[in-house]
């Protein structure tokens, strides 16, 4: 028993605080959804046949004036934002120049990657970001559930989409709008995040208490609130500054529990740490990607191999994969700030290269323990210039240098690095990389949250890797244990002595 254990136990006797008014929150978010107050089928501007999606945007702008200017200031549109990165100053960072260890990067691959951009026709660096008619209003506001982007279409709608019908059936963004891109990032369902996948379109409470169809049934915008098209809640893996976050405390406060002991944990432990004991609860998520095995062919043609769950464990165009389901998170300290590997950074791979680093420590007053998914990869690297390579992966046809068509790493590297104005030596190898993805969704019912002995134990503690602080029940320190034991003994002796004196005094008084 250590001194911290004494403090921990004695705090139990404190008066408990009032619980978070969950009933008020439930009432706020479970009100019956009202139909749109505007019937867009009655607008003459939307009754005509649209041959181009840009014409739909022009029609939207006739009534929703200046909304396009709000959109065009957002990171959803620009795929970058102004950030301060420690040691590097103010930089514009985002999908435009941050490499990941999934599909690596968008440069030279805009035709494919930009399917999820909220614009029309971004297929090259010459895309006009200042043209308001390039804004895709329907991607976020379609309520018909019939709108879809064309695969490899640089953000253009699929030709099968009836633009007139979709334009007449618009409203506030739903899970369907957000999830169409965010659930399928990295090349497929649940590939990237692990806690964002298609099950959340119609989840049960055991999967996510907030988004469950049989529960509160929150939409994404219930937490990711938006003002003038600026959305609250940045992607942690791509954001450098601790601002504009979407947090649990915004609804539940810093003291959501009846017990003071639990509330004291919130000082250094994020809500997600206890309330998301596992992720990828329904469909598997990709944990490892080995690009070095890509390019194998059968009879001159690419092929795929799937496991018993239907997950691809090998694809000629991408390499080998390891998938997992019902995954226990890893845990790190995080103060809300991060740094990143940027295009052109030179680095010697003496250890796995960190594609992003989440900052924080026990000594950091802003840091809390959070759950993360760590994605590990072997990806292509130039050993001469000491840079991670941005390859060209996508191409419409063979002979254009896209690896997925030509299976030539040298040519793909030349084309990709040329697109970002960086040199390529003609040599390549593959290096180990890691990328951290905070887990924020798939919140379990409170009865399924972590218990004290999940962490406060010497065997298989969930926080076994965080060694910069002393944790009662997990750690042993001879001095602390001696002091703690001594404190307990002295306390007991004091209680016994005090009680004995009271008894003796009472007897004396009785005799008198």
162 band by pLDDT with thresholds 50, 70 and 90: very high
Question: What is the distance in angstroms between the CA of the first residue and the CA of the last residue of the chain?
Answer: 44
More confident residue, 30 or 114: 114
For the chain, how many residues are written? 512
Whole-model pTM above 0.95? no
Alpha-carbon torsion (163, 164, 167, 169), positive or negative: negative
The pLDDT value given to residue 271 = 96
Say how far apart CA 215 and CA 220 lie, in whole Å.
Answer: 14
Q: How confident is the model at residue 87 (pLDDT cuts 50, 70, 90)?
A: confident
Please give the pLDDT value at position 246: 84
State yes or no: pLDDT of 234 exceeds 80.
no
- Res 479: pLDDT: 78
**Using CB atoms within 10 A of its CB, is residue 222 exposed (0-12), middle (13-18) or buried (19+)?**
middle
For residue range 335-367, what is the model confidence (pLDDT) as tens digits? 999 989 999 999 999 899 999 999 999 999 999
Residue 30 has pLDDT above 70, yes or no: no
Q: Structure tokens of 312?
A: 């691809």
The model's pLDDT over 53-71, given as tens digits with 9 standing for 90+, comes to 999 999 999 999 999 999 9
- SS3 state at 339: strand
Q: How confident is residue 507, by pLDDT bands cut at 50, 70 and 90?
A: confident
C-alpha R_g of the chain: 28
> pLDDT band at 3, cuts 50/70/90?
very low
The full set of domain ranges for the chain reads 36-65+103-184, 189-389+428-450
pLDDT at 500: 87
Q: For the packed helices 3-10 and 478-511, what is the interaxial angle rounded to 10 degrees?
A: 50
83, burial (CB in 10 Å: exposed 0-12, middle 13-18, buried 19+): buried
Q: How far is CA 86 from CA 10, 240, 316, 504, in A?
A: 41, 9, 39, 68
User: Whole-angstrom Cα distance, residue 127 to residue 156?
Assistant: 13
pLDDT in tens, 396-447: 999 999 999 999 999 999 999 999 999 999 999 999 999 999 999 999 999 9
DSSP annotation of 195 reads S
In terms of Cα–Cα distance, which of 144, 507, 105 is closest to 341?
105
Which of the residue ranges 114-128, 377-391, 467-481 would you say has the lowest mean pLDDT? 467-481
How would you classify the pairing of strands 353-354 and 429-438? parallel
8 pLDDT above the threshold of 50: no
């Amino acid at each position: 028993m250590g001194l911290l254990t004494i403090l921990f136990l004695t705090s139990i006797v404190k008066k408990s605080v009032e619980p978070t008014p969950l009933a008020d929150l439930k009432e706020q978010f479970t009100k019956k959804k009202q139909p749109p107050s505007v019937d867009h089928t009655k607008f003459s501007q939307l009754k005509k046949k649209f041959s181009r999606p840009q014409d739909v945007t022009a029609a939207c702008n006739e009534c929703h004036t200046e909304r396009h200017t709000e959109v065009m200031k957002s990171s959803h549109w620009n795929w970058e934002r102004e950030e301060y990165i420690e040691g590097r100053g103010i930089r514009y960072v985002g999908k435009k120049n941050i490499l990941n260890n999934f599909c690596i990067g968008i440069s030279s691959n805009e035709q494919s990657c930009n399917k999820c951009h909220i614009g029309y026709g971004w297929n090259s660096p010459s895309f006009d970001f200042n043209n308001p008619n390039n804004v895709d209003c329907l991607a976020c506001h379609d309520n018909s559930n019939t709108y879809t982007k064309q695969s490899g279409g640089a953000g253009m709608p699929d030709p099968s989409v009836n633009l007139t019908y979709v334009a007449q059936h618009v409203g506030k963004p739903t899970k369907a709008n957000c999830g169409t891109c965010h659930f399928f990032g990295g090349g497929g369902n649940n590939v990237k995040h692990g806690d964002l996948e298609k099950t959340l379109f119609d989840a049960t409470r055991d999967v996510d208490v907030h988004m469950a169809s049989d529960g509160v049934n929150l939409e994404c915008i219930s937490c990711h609130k938006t003002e003038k098209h600026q959305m609250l809640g940045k992607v942690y893996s791509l954001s450098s500054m601790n601002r504009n976050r979407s947090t649990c405390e915004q609804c539940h406060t810093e003291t959501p529990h009846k017990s003071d002991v639990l509330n004291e944990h919130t000082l250094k432990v994020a809500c997600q740490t206890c309330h998301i004991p596992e992720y990828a609860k329904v469909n598997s998520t990709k944990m490892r990607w080995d690009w070095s095995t890509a390019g194998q062919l059968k009879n001159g043609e690419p092929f795929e191999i799937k496991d018993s769950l239907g997950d691809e464990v090998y694809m000629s165009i991408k390499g080998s994969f390891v998938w997992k389901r019902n995954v226990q998170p890893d845990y790190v300290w995080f103060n809300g700030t991060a740094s990143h590997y940027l295009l052109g950074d030179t680095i010697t791979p003496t250890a796995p290269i960190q594609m992003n680093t989440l900052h924080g420590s026990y000594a950091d007053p802003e840091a809390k323990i959070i759950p993360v998914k760590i994605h590990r990869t072997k990806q292509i690297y130039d050993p001469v210039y000491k840079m991670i390579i941005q390859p060209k992966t996508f191409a419409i046809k063979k002979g254009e240098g896209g690896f997925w068509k030509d299976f030539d790493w040298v040519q793909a590297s030349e084309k990709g690095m040329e697109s970002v104005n960086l040199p390529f030596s003609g040599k390549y190898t593959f290096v180990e990389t890691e990328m951290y993805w905070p887990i924020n969704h798939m919140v379990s019912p409170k009865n399924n949250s972590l218990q004290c002995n999940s962490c406060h134990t010497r065997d298989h503690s969930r926080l076994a890797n965080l060694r910069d602080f002393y944790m009662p029940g997990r750690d042993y320190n001879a001095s602390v244990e001696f002091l703690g034991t001594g404190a307990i003994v002295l306390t007991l002796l004091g209680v016994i002595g005090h009680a004995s004196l009271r008894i003796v005094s009472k007897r004396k008084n009785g005799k008198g």
